[in-house]
Copies of this chain bind each other. A is one copy, B any other.
């Protein structure tokens, strides 16, 4: 790896000239410019971004904290973050927190030491016992605007409401909701949206609960179907739960969507892999990631963003688990 000194020597100028050339700052004669350029090419010089970072206290990196990249919601988010970050010249440092505040703090500290220019953190829990370095901008994804931090979410409440509307429109008479964990903000919002819309329609409902993973969902489903025979539609707090219920229903020979309609939430890819394909309230996952990045980059570059809270709209995707 050659350094700016090598280039300077090769080009017969000083490092200052090379630096000016590189950064288009200050004057450099046509002749010098040519020499420098030649030298750069000849030596295959690439400026060392660590040295740059040290000087500028800025690294052109953004830190991304997700609970678990293995959870199907997050890869798409991460991809979006990386795509738009890249466009603006930022690299992304990834961290999995497992939703553990300690690990989150850990990454926050790590990121600071690395001079990351900004942080996107997508924590689904609502705990906020973190000490934040106030001069590194942070945007929060997929969680309510609790801490006053810039936030990007989707309207979970409204999405849930619409799910119920759809089910009713499709003729559902006895609707159940399988809610997600109580620590998860979005699960609570969806729950509330469900309740309110059911109440508005004067309908009785059944509530069950499941964690956001398949095993838990299947267990819940077995219990559920043993107990509730009359239910003809289920709104699940996310797609994983929905798929778990779908599987168990299928196994029990329940006709989907004739006897039982199911609608999930999230719009992750595997919704299309099951049969019948899962109807769902799709979050604009990629857009949320992209939006978060753009917002963060504005913050980093001290532009005034229009808003500090973006609540994107969800859209219902009707597929095979609800009636035509």
- Chain A residues near B (Cβ < 8 Å): 1, 46-51, 53-54, 59, 61, 68-70, 72, 74-76, 78-79, 82-83, 91-96, 109-110, 112-115, 133, 214, 240, 243, 246-247, 250-251, 269-270, 272-275, 277
Known A48-B54, A240-B273; further 13 A-B contacts with Cβ < 8 A: A1-B133, A46-B113, A49-B114, A50-B54, A68-B79, A69-B69, A70-B76, A82-B95, A91-B95, A91-B114, A247-B277, A250-B275, A270-B270
Given contacts A49-B114, A53-B50, A272-B214, contact A69 B59 (CB under 8 A): no
A-B pairs, 4 with minimum CB distance: A49-B113, A270-B270, A247-B275, A250-B275
* A74 and chain B: residue at smallest CB distance: B75
Which among B69, B94, B273 is the interface contact of A214 at CB below 8 angstroms? B273
* A268 and chain B: residue at smallest CB distance: B270
When distances are taken between beta carbons in the complex, the residues of chain B under 8 Å from A96 are 79, 82-83
When distances are taken between beta carbons in the complex, the residues of chain B under 8 Å from A272 are 214
* A46 and chain B: residue at smallest CB distance: B113
What are some 28 contacts across the A-B interface (CB < 8 A)? Answer: A1-B112, A48-B54, A48-B113, A48-B115, A49-B114, A50-B50, A50-B113, A50-B114, A51-B54, A61-B93, A61-B114, A68-B79, A69-B79, A69-B82, A70-B79, A70-B269, A72-B75, A74-B75, A75-B75, A91-B95, A92-B94, A214-B269, A214-B272, A247-B275, A250-B275, A251-B275, A274-B275, A275-B275
When distances are taken between beta carbons in the complex, the residues of chain B under 8 Å from A59 are 50
When distances are taken between beta carbons in the complex, the residues of chain B under 8 Å from A251 are 275
When distances are taken between beta carbons in the complex, the residues of chain B under 8 Å from A114 are 49-50, 61, 91
A133 vs B91: C-alpha distance in the bound complex, in angstroms? 19
Inter-subunit contact B109/A82 (CB<8 Å): no
Inter-subunit contact B275/A46 (CB<8 Å): no
* A51 and chain B: residue at smallest CB distance: B54
When distances are taken between beta carbons in the complex, the residues of chain B under 8 Å from A53 are 50
A49 vs B269: C-alpha distance in the bound complex, in angstroms? 38
When distances are taken between beta carbons in the complex, the residues of chain B under 8 Å from A78 are 69, 94
How many Å from the CB of A200 to the closest CB on chain B? 33
How many Å from the CB of A42 to the closest CB on chain B? 15
